[in-house]
């Protein structure tokens, strides 16, 4: 320990002398500290070279179109057979109009375990409750081989390959033409001669034929000699040739192809003559 006693001594402290005294005092303090405290060497910290961080350039994402535009399609042209020709010419006077009131005019009016045929509210109703069953009702008075016919069929319960339609030029139950509409939108023609079945027109799909029920099918038939033309809801479907045209009865029918019930009714039956 250093003790400095001043006794009326004047000391002139210049700046340089002040700095020297300060350094001597500081050195004495560190020397005394080193004798009492054992210093722990500082760990060597390796130097780390930091490279500049490269910030990736942001690429703008594509714009999401939540509502995609509908692609432009070329319209589908539906060909019309003989567009400039009247497919139902020479329609003449009314032969008869059926209002479906008298049970004497139609055969098969009954209720059985398989189903029923009935007349009500100017409709002929066919209901079939048994699978693979056909019910037929014939109009009592035969008509000529040449005529124009219209009637409306309404499907109430109908599906899949269930059928309904018209019977034409009936001479017996084994000699007739059957125009069939299926509840899946198809149509065909069946010709029965002495029990032998042919198909002048096999099943074809048409947009004019209603699918399922309820549905409405306005059926029109133009028959002249060997040529018979078929229409549904005023759309021409096809033409068949009848090699041996004759007059006969007309009728309606329904057929259940599925396990469910089929219910169809017919109304507004009109038959007109064809002018020569």
Provide the residue ranges of all domains of the chain, joining segments of one domain with +. Answer: 91-274
**pTM higher than the cut 0.85:** no
140-187 pLDDT tens trace: 999 999 999 999 999 999 999 999 999 999 999 999 999 999 999 999
Higher pLDDT, 188 or 3: 188
pLDDT at 198 exceeding the cut of 90? yes
3-state class (DSSP) for residue 5: coil
Which CATH architecture group holds 91-274?
Sandwich (2.60)
The yes-or-no verdict on residue 43 having pLDDT over 90 is no
In this structure, the number of other CB atoms found within 10 A of the CB of residue 240 comes to: 17
Q: Which of 37-51, 85-99, 214-228 has the highest mean pLDDT?
A: 214-228
pLDDT at residue number 259: 86
pLDDT of residue 85: 67
Of 148 and 32, more confident: 148
CB 261 within 8 A of CB 129: yes
Q: How high does pLDDT run on average in the chain?
A: 79
Torsion of CA 20, 21, 26, 28, to 10 degrees: 110
Tell me the sheet residues that pair with 154.
216, 265
Reported as a pLDDT band with limits 50, 70 and 90, residue 54 is: very low
Contacts of range 103-109, beta carbons closer than 8 Å, 24 or more positions apart: 104/140, 105/139, 105/140, 105/141, 106/137, 106/138, 106/139, 106/140, 107/136, 107/137, 107/138, 107/140, 107/251, 108/135, 108/136, 108/137, 108/138, 109/137
The 3-state DSSP composition of the chain as helix, strand, coil percent (nearest 5) reads 10, 45, 45
Query: In the predicted model, is pLDDT for residue 117 greater than 50?
Result: yes
- Class of residue 3 by CB neighbours under 10 A (exposed 0-12, middle 13-18, buried 19+): exposed
Write the pLDDT tens digit of every residue in 216-264: 999 999 999 999 999 999 999 999 999 999 999 999 999 999 888 999 9
Which whole number is the average pLDDT over 48-61? 40
Which of 151, 125, 150, 155 is CA-nearest to residue 137?
Answer: 125
């Amino acid at each position: 320990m250093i003790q400095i006693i001043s006794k009326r001594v004047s000391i002139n402290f210049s700046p340089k002398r002040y700095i020297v005294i300060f350094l001597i005092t500081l050195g004495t303090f560190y020397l005394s500290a080193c004798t009492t405290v054992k210093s722990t060497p500082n760990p060597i910290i390796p130097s780390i070279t930091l490279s500049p961080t490269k910030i990736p350039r942001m690429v703008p994402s594509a714009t999401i179109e939540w509502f995609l535009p509908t692609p432009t399609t070329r319209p589908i042209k539906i060909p019309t057979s003989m567009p400039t020709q009247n497919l139902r010419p020479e329609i003449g006077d009314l032969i008869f109009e059926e209002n479906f009131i008298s049970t004497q005019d139609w055969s098969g009016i009954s209720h059985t375990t398989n189903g029923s045929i009935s007349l009500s509210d100017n409709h002929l109703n066919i209901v079939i409750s048994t699978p693979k069953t056909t019910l037929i009702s014939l109009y009592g008075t035969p008509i000529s081989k040449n005529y124009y016919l219209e009637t409306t069929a309404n499907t109430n319960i109908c599906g899949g390959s269930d059928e309904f339609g018209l019977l034409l030029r009936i001479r017996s139950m084994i000699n007739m033409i059957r125009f069939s509409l299926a509840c899946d939108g198809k149509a065909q023609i069946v010709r029965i001669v002495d029990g032998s079945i042919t198909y002048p027109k096999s099943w074809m799909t048409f947009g004019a034929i209603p699918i399922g029920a309820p549905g409405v099918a306005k059926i029109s038939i133009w028959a002249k000699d060997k040529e018979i033309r078929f229409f549904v809801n005023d759309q021409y479907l096809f033409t068949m040739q009848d090699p041996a045209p004759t007059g006969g009865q007309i009728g309606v029918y329904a057929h259940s192809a599925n396990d469910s019930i089929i219910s169809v009714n017919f109304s507004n039956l009109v038959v007109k003559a064809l002018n020569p």
